[in-house]
Chains A and B, each alone.
Chain A
Amino acid sequence: MSSRKKTLLKVIILGDSGVGKTSLMQQFVNNKFSHQYKATIGADFLTKEIIIDNNKPVTLQIWDTAGQERFQSLGVAFYRGADCCVLCFDVTNEKSLNNLTSWKDEFLVQSNVSNPQDFPFIIIGNKIDVDDSKKIPSLQKKLHNITHNQLGGLNYPVFETSAKDSINVEAAFEVIAKMALQQEELNAASGGDVNDDYNDAINIHLDGESSGCGC
């Protein structure tokens, strides 16, 4: 049973409250955009099976977190074992853009990844469907400054998306999956896989033909 190894990629979505993290995740996983999602409390989690590079099936585990509060010790459980981190901002909210660096730092502190220098991050600027007059003035320049700052810059791929109109979401997640897969392979090569104590001492028997608890 344990011989069949499924490739599981853990992706974390971070960013300020209200930038559209849940919408992006929902749009990607369920291809839907409800006009408004409720505020995420604690964490949320969805998975999607996709095929990358034409033949490689992987399961993306997408972890969505609340943007308002940053938990110090709880964060460890959220971030541990991540293969890729998506930093989100809202193209109409300059503060959310300026906070990207602190979200990245937060992630690195909490996840304790072994290769902070080349850990895969990507940046998503969401809500490009909104009227231009509402967007951050000279966004491209500010974005360029943030991504090309020599000192601790966020020199990562940037995607501008609309979860509402489903623009670029699929493409962004495809890149995320590829980057995560590379990271996962890197981890596997360095022997970081400790999760093989699945031989379970407890057996479960269901009497009769009952299939599940009837929920």
Chain B
Amino acid sequence: MLKENEIIQHVLLTINKTKGNLETFKSGIVNGDYTSQTPFFTRTLVWKVCLITNSLNINEWESRLHDSRVVYHQLTKRGDMQVPWWELSCDHYFYKTKEESTHRTLRRTHSQSGSVRQIPQRQSSVKNSLARVRANDDPLSTSRSSTPSPSEVTPTEQDIELLEAIILDIDRLFPGEDFFQPNQPHSLSVKRQLIEILYVWSKCNLGYKQGIHEILGLIYHSLYKESIPIPQTNTISVDDLKILKLYDSNYLSHDLFTILNAFLMKSGAFAKFYENESNLLTTIDDFNIKLMKIDQFIHYNLTAKLKLESQLWIIRYLRLVLLREIIDLETTASLWDKLVASPAIMPDLVLFMIIQLLIQIKTDLIASDFSECLSLLLHYPTGKITHNPADFINNLYKDSFKLYEYRNDDLKLYEYGNKLNAKYNPNLKISMSYTSSGRSSISSINSNGSRASTEVHGGPSLDTKAEKLQFEKMRLEMRLKKKAQSMLRPRE
């Protein structure tokens, strides 16, 4: 756990190193220059600067933090956002009486940092930060007959089911991590906070979906370790206090709510991975097309040969943003650091990351039958990751960001796919023989390029490597084009 002085030192060193420039800071993160190996690294700074303050100027932090914290504060004060702990059975470890449950939020207003007390003067800015909360959930909206106070609202059947669903998942959150073990002294309060954030978040965003709990859990885990109570002494300078407020443990929940909103909602990840099934299917189609453009052979092998539909395995990759594939929390967090600092659209970048992961295990993938292949995909081999996590993550980010940059140029995608194959599968050679019957698409290509087709059937006569490559390239491109057309047609 970081001490106050350490925090201040880390933050100041980081700001100094990047000259207070946000873009320099972000590119340092994505390029691997600012990681947990960096002596003055602090993850809180990465996440809160990228997703809340959007500035490395400490003078701007206070008001931006306030604007974001007030949103969650207001939401938790509303009666209909009250977590109905009292509806649980009395012997449940999360049970609280109604009085206890509603008391807690009152205490919040007396919290020490005092920033929340300024709410009335700041209402205009609150409206802006509420942009992501659905309009009719705006606590300041007048359409609701004023905010219901806690005692007036009785939770519905769905509210109780929502709470039970969240508890069920929070109780089995990262069972392998000591931090979340029930015997830890902080366990109950940590879980209660997580449940409350999820409950409020779900009520603002049309319900709870499994997976969001792990995303929140990982971010919480990372930031909890660095958060501190603000010391009640006069010996801290004004500037130092501004820095420490970013780490205020009193507002950990508030900040996590904002971060979860930014990471999932603003990024578009919720819409593409969670919101509804047709969006999810569109995302998976998009993935399939990208995969075909980058590594046609993996695509062919999975979809045409094994008939292994991507939705059988990819849902977890997407929804947990690779958390289960990358196995340990610290390594995943280091990847997510890059995601939040990246200029790329997060869900699109994730699709390219998945393709890079597939290319890395290509040899095994294409030598497997259906069962083996699906097992491999659902239990992604961790050997390479644990061998050198930092390199693995840096390569994963760099490769997929390159692909992302080429996303609108099919030829470049194809070429970069070849490059990745040369890098990760140098011993793998795939030869294609389209002589078997029933391949109408191929014969039509051959009739177009008769020169090439005679050569390929002539076998050994293709001796110059360049010629061979040239031909392979042309054939793949034509097939690619045709396939892309046939895949895109029904969508229009």
> A residues near B, CB below 8 A?
8, 17-18, 34-39, 41-47, 59, 61, 66, 68-69, 71-74, 77-78, 198-208, 210, 212-215
Contacts and interface: CB of A to CB of B under 8 A. Distances in A.
B348 interface: no
A47 B373 CA distance: 12
Contact of B384 (A68, A74, A78, A215): A215
B107 interface: no
Interface stretch (B93-101, B255-263, B310-318): B310-318
Contacts of B428: 204, 206-207
Given A42-B316, A68-B165, 14 more contacts: A39-B168, A39-B210, A39-B211, A39-B214, A41-B210, A41-B316, A42-B314, A74-B281, A201-B432, A202-B301, A202-B305, A204-B430, A207-B429, A215-B360
Interface stretch (B18-26, B185-193, B374-382): B374-382
A170 B209 CA distance: 32
Interface of B: 165, 168-169, 171-175, 209-211, 213-214, 277, 280-281, 297, 300-301, 305, 309, 311-316, 319-320, 324, 360-364, 366-367, 371, 374-375, 378, 381, 383-384, 424-425, 427-436, 439
B364 A215 contact: yes
A202 B316 CA distance: 30
A84 B171 CA distance: 31
B281 A78 contact: no
Contact of A35 (B175, B366, B424): B175
B210 A66 contact: yes
Contact of B175 (A37, A68, A202, A214): A37
Contacts of B367: 204, 212
Contacts of A71: 277, 280, 311
A43 B434 contact: no
A43 B213 contact: no
Contacts of B315: 41-43, 74
Contacts of A202: 297, 300-301, 305, 430-433
A47 B375 contact: yes
B120 to A, nearest CB: 41
Given A41-B316, A72-B277, A208-B427, A59 B371 contact: yes
Contacts of A205: 429-431
Nearest to B169: A39
Contacts of A43: 312-313, 315-316, 378
A199 B383 CA distance: 32
A61 B172 CA distance: 25
A44 B430 contact: no
A200 B431 CA distance: 12
Given A8-B371, A201-B439, A17 B175 contact: no
A145 to B, nearest CB: 23
B35 to A, nearest CB: 24
B424 A74 contact: no
B151 to A, nearest CB: 29
Interface of B is mostly: helix
Contact of B427 (A39, A59, A66, A206): A206
Nearest to A43: B312
Nearest to B376: A215
B430 A210 contact: no
A207 B439 CA distance: 28
Given A37-B172, A202-B432, A206-B428, A44 B363 contact: no
Most-contacted residue by chain B among A17, A45, A46 (CB, 10 A): A45
A46 B375 contact: yes
B97 to A, nearest CB: 22
Nearest to A34: B175
A128 B311 CA distance: 34
A203 B371 contact: no
Nearest to A63: B312
Contacts of A204: 366-367, 428, 430
Contacts of A18: 168, 172
A210 B427 contact: yes
B174 A212 contact: no
A61 B378 CA distance: 13
B177 to A, nearest CB: 11
A213 B214 CA distance: 30
B324 A41 contact: yes
Contacts of B168: 17-18, 39
A41 B175 contact: no
A38 to B, nearest CB: 6
Most-contacted residue by chain B among A41, A46, A59, A207 (CB, 10 A): A41
Contacts of B301: 202
B312 to A, nearest CB: 5
Nearest to B167: A18
Contacts of A78: 312
A166 to B, nearest CB: 19
26 contacts: A17-B168, A17-B169, A34-B175, A36-B172, A36-B175, A38-B214, A39-B169, A39-B214, A41-B320, A42-B315, A42-B319, A43-B315, A66-B210, A68-B165, A71-B277, A72-B277, A201-B436, A202-B301, A202-B305, A202-B433, A203-B430, A203-B433, A204-B367, A205-B430, A205-B431, A212-B367
A71 B430 CA distance: 37
Contacts of A44: 378
A73 B277 contact: yes
Contact of B383 (A38, A201, A215): A215
Contacts of A206: 363, 427-429
A74 B436 CA distance: 33
A74 B309 CA distance: 9
